[in-house]
Amino acid sequence: MYTQCPDCRTVFSLDAGVLAHARGAVICGNCETLFDALDTLADQLPPEPFRLLPGNARSEEAPRLEVAVYRPREDVPVAEPAPAVPAFTPRFVHERRAARKRPRRWPWVLTCALLALLLAAQVAWAKRGALIADPAIGSWLRQACATLGCRLPLVRDVRHLHLVARDVQAHPSVPGALMISATVRNDAPFAQPYPVVSLTLSDADGHRLAMRRLHPSEYLDDAAALRAGLAPGASAAVLIEVADPGKRAVAFEFGFE
């Protein structure tokens, strides 16, 4: 026979002994709900798929039993009633108690926490430039690194690079060449890598006559300074040698990349 929990809809198999033990009252081994197994008692399960077992209508009038499968002879003494069956727990309650002995969950919780921290570290590394450049977060990171003795990666932000001095003159030792010097200052609160410097020479009408781009290694031969970058508030001198485009070149412009 079968019955179904009205709360979680779990279907259980049971026998007459379980029903007689508490007159149909049973406890669901899945959700601990106390219910009357007689409400949905069925001999067979309906064809799948099904969600609910059909309910049994209750009546105040006791049904009359007509189909007898055994009737004792009148001359045979009636046997004494059998001793009460010892109380027992339904099988699905035993299954519920066994299910409570589950393995510990803390290893899974710890693993998930470590994976979440690893993911956060990867996102922070991918966004390190924006985090270091942020005034609040960058200041906290610099203080933390100063305490721990670590070093933040260099972040490039040319908006904080400013040209504070520049000059152009004939090359003192190379005929037909110009020597152009400039001084760039880092006004960011963090160290920056030395920029790529672009120089553009123009005529009086603003037409470009010549242009040159110099990478940091082309105007700075100090490897240690290149690795350290341009410190906050520090300045660097840039010296560029170019061929003299003639008298048409009357203006020059610096850019940083």
pLDDT the model gives residue 46: 82
Q: Is the pLDDT of residue 109 over 80?
A: yes
Does pLDDT of 185 surpass 90?
yes
How confident is the model at residue 5, as a pLDDT? 92
Kindly state the average pLDDT of the residues 34-62. 80
Q: What is the pLDDT of residue 199?
A: 83
Pairwise pLDDT comparison (133 vs 209), residue with the higher score: 209
Residue found under tokens 């430039």: 129
The C-alpha atoms of residue 117 and residue 138 are separated, in whole angstroms, by 20
List, in order, residues 6 or more apart from 153 with CB less than 8 Å away: 128, 132
The encoded tokens of residue 156 equal 């490039």
Nearest partner of 177 among 157, 161, 193, 201, judged by Cα: 201
* Cα(235)–Cα(221) distance, integer angstroms: 16
Q: By three-state DSSP, how is residue 124 classified?
A: helix
- pLDDT tens string 50-95: 778 887 777 677 666 666 666 677 655 555 655 555 555 555 555 5
Confidence of residue 124 (pLDDT cuts 50, 70, 90): low
Mean pLDDT of the chain: 78
Q: What is the mean pLDDT of residues 138-162?
A: 76
Where exactly are the structural domains of the chain? 1-58+86-102, 112-148, 158-256
Its CATH class, for the domain covering 158-256, is: mainly beta
Distance CA 100, CA 198 (A): 72
Q: What is the DSSP letter of 37?
A: G
**pLDDT range class, residue 187, cuts 50, 70, 90:** very high
| Nearest-angstrom CA–CA distance, 161 and 158 | 5
